[in-house]
Structure 1
């Protein structure tokens, strides 16, 4: 299968986010996926009370939705799932897995929906058709022959609360806490940092807070591509003259200007909404220093105000009543000189003071952040520095204020709420044991990095993947892929073919499941699901579309089938009854987590759903001291593998990026509209000064090599240089292509999140391959 890309080009994007560009992009993917027939009807039901929850991101769904409650990327995810294209047995009859490994990620998923359960045949190096009964029995037999702690039960973050709850019970009844998930690769730094600082592992902001806030800060988040529906409340806030202050290495278009595609006046007129009133291009890894600078400016303002008899800038009463540790933090703020803060943040003092000035005169402030904060060696510290900033002015536990991490996968937060975690201390083991007759293992299980280390070491023998594309999402891919072949068992539950499926191990099974948009009928009864969004809101939804194949099964039904074949009745879990009626699963969830899910069957249908209780929202701090914690920073260098002051002047800090045409590992196409790149992903964005001083030119081809652990060669390329507006000594290139550059040990302290937003790299001249030259950017387009 050969996919012909359009001619590659680079042309800086000057239009707003949203607008006609978004509308054309949606229509284009509906056409490409042959979903023009049923796609538009499905989009009218997306994120609606009588429809389905978006397959894409976890941003909150309003109780009173817009007429079109979907964004560009959400529409792409819907088209991707409703595609008329199919990946059936005939593909595997024609192509061996060795052949398919030469296909790109885009080519694999674009081929269409999986239609039949498949078993790997090593003799022919192909997947062959099997039956569900053979799959369940074969997998169960293999699992019974393996040591439980040698098996990984991975969850991608897409599965419903019901499915996730059953999945973690299956793992624990089997005998292991090996339950890594996609949180381990993105927001585990949030879960650790917020729990330590304010006693909850999730954000404290709801959609209602956007209507009451009078200032918003953004750190390390690209709203235009990763959560575009958030642009609606941001636009409403800007219409109320709410200042929005953004800190991001790149000038992302969604944080600059927005045209609402649902407004005929805006679509037909020349105007757009300015989103960021201040935009600070912080250096990669400079966020802690920037926050420290804002705090330093606030402290100076407070001292001046008190000396002059004016109201204090810092909320001393709140701090005294609700926090501890402020003295140590403020002493540290005093110790840092402006020159050091400027050098490390990449911002001048005036920029940090400007942000502090607006913060000081605002009463209700929220801070929104993404993986640009969490995926650093000191990512947990980054999160806690943001909390420190909010605590200084009492901006947690009051309407219109709080901390707002923006999650990725649509239920990644929710699956943690119902027990997907490697840490048995984070689940109600006593209730699980009494309700279901199983012994929750005491040994802490493997998170994602641990699982990867076990795969490389050969101690992991089995892997079950509930969605996702694990091999492409994890770091150190060039070491993980060869080791994957030694797995005894590899089971993948999926809707489409991806690269992970092409490394089957000794016994590989490919189990096709229903998509979220598709109708799930069990024994004649239509089923509904629940998910939890980024704001801790839980709501019901149901799929409506006709399934892509009569051979598909629901994720929940697959889990039930695997459990029955593996556990042989060693527990008191009514798997078959749960498969027949998902309401019984919700009843079990409510029994296990009554504080959160009481009366779930009724409350899940409330407009907008119901919110889980969060003590920090009421200024009840479930920390060891019973108070919110100010935390001191161990270092200003968020990524200190290569010191800022070292002599390695040829080292750049590389951040991985998602394009406008992808969601996580899923690539929808080869157009990054907002960054002006079309027809290729083999590019590296660099500051023009770095290009010149390192002896290159825009348009040159280079190989990227990791500049740490010299004994191991990690490189990707060739990639073509684009001169771009990015801070000096910084660079950007696409995820997941650059994951091979990240050593397994290059992760965040405490959370083990791979530090993908700051990878020390060196550049080396390369000869472009013929296939790269076919999609090369014309040199004329390289002028900024």
Structure 2
């Protein structure tokens, strides 16, 4: 182990001086100048730019500094002074760069020139934009469109995403996997089937009206730190915040507001969670069944005695279906089974249920701790079940608040990035652009991975992201990836996916959202959608990293023109020169959601695209909100066995998705390494390992494939017995492609069957 590795308990709150020091460190490392500091004052402001990190909402009346620690890191990361020029690749072969860490690859800086892989020298070399577009277009013309993958990461704007999805369909492909496939597709499937809406129902202002918040598997301290401000306000006004999460996350324990001089001067902080329950990984179905059982049986007793009921029977009768079957199941489920599967006591669950029973307006918040399980859909359905019991949807201060990751991952789906034909307005696209869109189900992330491994896929075009690093079964995928005939990556920085070139491979560097985007009609603005279904305008003003960069819309237009015959209904050049024309096209395609799009895009607080379920209009098969009775109490999809652990893949405080900002997971007390496994002390004693011992993690999926992560340092941690934690994406190698959520196909990264071997 390295001498600079430091592991110790972190006792400070989230936010506060720890955040301030972290910002100073990354600012110094990226050597940012006055322009970046100026841009931070515009971040998430009504007339500024939307953060390139998470999808948390922008308030109509922002704070003086409307950015968080991770948002500021993302801005410094994008506006870094470092550059990856063609000269960089004369010094380093692709084979050499494969040995670099993720952090080091991106730390090389912003890409400046379009690049093509030269197999004879094992290097990327600079090419002209015309050469790149011409060659890419020529090759795409020769493929079967149904065997070409068009991936979109969650950072691309609504304008780019609309153009990209249209391009793929006009080409003849419905293979449009995106970031949702890896995280919240479970929400899109589960909520839609139960309440008719694939997204959350609340607005940011509902946090001002609730009296209880139930948290499941979401960590705001690292993944959406601006959320800590409304949570702090809620806690201070007495809102009961009940948390279910396997790990103690500091942001849900206490928060020190960096913008509060008194807290910063005195060291005071605000306690967040009023109850904190460390459920076993995959045990949330059992928890919510326990809450529902308590409420239903308490209501039975109350009604038998003539007292007021606890359940909202009028709401259930008017707005729901399936209640009787679910209620019978809850009554029949034993507390022994609930305790066994949740890892919590009946007393603990009943304490939480009592909060729910007395609440007048409850918000439920959840993240990938619910969605990334084999039975993730059951998790989401159980969230709906227990909320429907008391009518907690479609009224002020109550409803569903899934927290999305990437800043526009929800918006991409809104404007057509989907492999599912029923989710895209295909007839409207046909009418507007005079072509026949593909109507078959396309490849999602899992199907794309399977097609690459089998050799069926011919080409991959990636709009941002680090696809090969983010997907499961890393070793198998990396081995198969270079069998693709063509790989194209639109990117701002170098990442591991670029180092697995197909037979022909291009990297196309683009402008960042924070930079001035000057086109034929002047400086352009773009738009994104947040987790609350609000649409915002975003205007970059920073100096571009290089004058050789093109915008994302210009790159999409360049590829589209090169690979398809001209269509008189689609003027790609006009769209690339004036994004307002793209927004007009979005409005024409989705008039109900995007009426007066150009006029409203800079509305303070954004404009709401609408949500039928928020008005108690249920676009389900039954026409009502649906109770769903689960058949399992564990979401893992596998049985416990002697020596088998449930692995949860984790993100550190110093990363966002696959982007690693550094090696300091401050809240977990780990500095200088990511080669860590967090373990309960009882499990450590049982298998005979101690702190700082080295172990290997071995996949235990039962499919005879060899999956290993070697050389992990044991860290004793407050984690449920039988569960271990280690970092994403390094441990994706342990997740089989087949280990995914049923129906939604989201990788089941929060409960992976593994075994430990002593080094």
Question: Is contact 1:438–1:571 with CA below 8 Å preserved after alignment?
Answer: no
Displacement, 1:570?
4.6
- The answer to whether 1:678 aligns with 2:671 is yes
Q: Output one character per residue of 1:462-517: Cα deviation in whole Å (capped at 9) or x when no partner.
A: 00000000010000010000101111100000000000001111100010000110
Matched, 1:716 2:709: yes
Task: Kindly report which structure 2 residues correspond to 1:26-425, keeping only aligned pairs within 5 A, or say none.
Answer: 26-425=23-422
Structure 2 counterparts to residues 602-617 of structure 1, below 5 A: 602-617=599-614
How far off its partner does 1:749 sit?
0.4
Q: Say if 2:759 is the partner of 1:762.
A: no
Partner SS state of residue 434, structure 1:
helix
Q: Pick from 443, 447, 471 the counterpart of residue 446 of structure 1.
A: 443
Pick aligned residue for 1:659 from 652, 665, 676: 652
- Aligned residue for 1:720, secondary structure, equals strand
1:524 Cα offset (Å): 5.1
Compute the displacement of 1:309 (Å): 2.2
Partner of 1:772: none
- Matches of 1:669 and 1:757 in 2, distance apart? 23
Q: Secondary structure at the match of 2:592?
A: helix
Contact between 1:323 and 1:629, CA under 8 Å: does it hold in 2?
Answer: yes
Structure 1 unaligned segments of length 5 or more: list them. 767-784
Change over 3 Å in CA distance of 1:508–1:288 after alignment to 2: same
- Which one of the candidate residues 717, 735, 738 is aligned to 1:745? 738
1-structure distance, mates of 2:5, 2:103? 16
- Residues in 2 aligned to 1:124 and 1:524: alpha-carbon distance in whole angstroms: 41
CA apart distance, 1:571: 6.1
Conserved? CA contact 1:96–1:126, under 8 Å: yes
Q: Is this contact kept in 2: 1:250–1:725, CA < 8 A?
A: yes
Of 440, 453, 469 in structure 2, the residue corresponding to residue 456 of structure 1 is 453
**Are the counterparts in 2 of residues 438 and 572 from structure 1 also a CA contact under 8 Å?**
no
Q: Deviations over 1:713-772 (max 9, x none)?
A: 011121011110000000100000000000000000010001000001000012xxxxxx
Moved over 3 A (4+): none
Match of 1:309, SS? coil
Give the Å deviation of 1:710.
4.5
Shift of 1:6: 7.4
Does 2:589 match 1:596? Answer: no
**How far apart in 2 are the matches of 1:45 and 1:731?**
40
Find the residue that maps to 1:594 and give its secondary structure: coil
Residue equivalent to 2:556: 559
Measured in 2, the distance between the counterparts of 1:38 and 1:669 equals 23
1:691 has 2:684 as partner: yes
Superposed, which structure 2 residues align to 1:457-476 within 5 Å? 457-476=454-473
Give the Å deviation of 1:307: 2.4
Q: Deviations over 1:44-82 (max 9, x none)?
A: 000011110001000111011100000000000000000
Check whether the contact 2:521–2:577 (CA below 8 A) recurs between aligned residues. Answer: no
CA contact (8 A) 1:424 1:444 kept: yes
* Cα displacement (A) at 1:203: 0.2
- TM-superposed CA distance for 1:36, in Å, is 3.8
- Quick one: distance in 2 between partners of 1:117 and 1:6? 40
- Residue 649, structure 1, aligned to residue 642, structure 2: yes
Structure 2 counterpart SS, 1:597: coil
**2:180 & 2:731 partners in 1: Cα distance?**
19
Query: CA–CA distance in 1 between the matches of 2:285 and 2:475?
Result: 32
- Separation in 1, partners of 2:288, 2:665: 30
Structure 2: distance between partners of 1:523 and 1:584: 12
| Residue 426 (str. 1) matches residue 419 (str. 2) | no
Q: Are the aligned partners of 1:173 and 1:571 in contact in 2 as well (CA < 8 Å)?
A: no
Say if 1:485 and 1:505, in contact at 8 Å, map to a contact too. yes
Aligned counterpart, 2:575: 578
Judged with a 3 Å threshold, the aligned counterparts in structure 2 of structure 1 residues 93 and 44 are, in CA distance, closer, same or farther, namely: same
> C-alpha distance in 2, partners of 1:6/1:575?
55
User: Structure 2 CA distance, aligned partners of 1:5 and 1:668?
Assistant: 19
* Structure 1 CA distance for aligned equivalents of residues 411 and 433 of structure 2: 21
Distance 1:442 1:710 in 2: 34
Shift of 1:5: 7.9
| Aligned partner of residue 605 in structure 1, secondary structure | coil
Give the equivalent residue in structure 2 for 1:707: 700
d(CA) in 2 for partners of 1:718 and 1:571? 58
Cα distance in 2, alignment partners of residues 36 and 230 from structure 1: 28
Task: State the alpha-carbon separation in 2 of the partners of residues 137 and 699 from structure 1.
Answer: 54
Aligned residues of 2:297 and 2:331 also touching (Cα < 8 A):
no
Deviation at 1:39, TM superposition (A): 2.1
Partner of 1:634: 631
Report if aligned partners of 2:647, 2:726 keep a CA contact under 8 Å in 1.
Answer: yes
Provide the secondary structure at the position in 2 that maps to 1:30. helix
Comparing 556-565 with 303-312, greater Cα deviation is found at 303-312
Under a length normalisation based on structure 2, what TM-score does the superposition of the two structures give?
A: 0.99
1:202-221 CA-partner distances (Å, limit 9, x unpaired): 00011110000010010000
CA RMSD in angstroms, aligned pairs only: 1.0
The more displaced of 299-308 and 618-627 is: 299-308
